[in-house]
Amino acid sequence: MKITRSEVEHVARLARLELSDSELDTFTGQMDGILAYVEKLNALDTEGIVPTSHAVPMENAFRPDQPADSIGVEAALANAPLRAESFFRVPKVIE
């Protein structure tokens, strides 16, 4: 699978990244290499292999929920760069 420069530009735009021409050339080559490797992996016969999410067995370290008092609005907002009354103020992300 060959990735084009215009596809890299499109992905960069979606990620809100401004890339120079040299960066676009570099990333096009790198992404093409990654996709070529994935194609090699897709060619492997995985019949009868059980899917795994971890190479080694994992155990969750869950604890029972224990209700506790909250830290309060003032403590929660103490290091907030911007706040509006009792809320965090964040930049608008939807255009």
Residue 20 sits in a domain of what CATH number? 1.10.20.60
Domain span at residue 36? 5-43
Q: Which residues pair with 87 in a beta bridge?
A: 84
In a domain, 22, yes or no: yes
Q: Is residue 18 included in any domain, yes or no?
A: yes
Residue 50 lies in a domain: no
Give a yes or no: residue 65 inside a domain.
no
Q: How far is CA 66 from CA 70, 71, 72, in A?
A: 12, 15, 17
What is the pLDDT, as a whole number, of residue 32? 94
In a domain, 92, yes or no: no
State residue 1's pLDDT score.
63
pLDDT in tens, 69-93: 999 999 999 999 999 999 999 988 8
- Give the three-state DSSP class for 15: coil
Give pLDDT tens digits for 3-45: 999 999 999 999 999 999 999 999 999 999 999 999 998 899 9
pLDDT for residue 95: 75
- Sequence-distant (6+) residues with CB within 8 A of 86 are 73, 77
Asked if 28 and 3 touch (Cβ cutoff 8 Å), the reply is yes
Domain count along the chain? 1
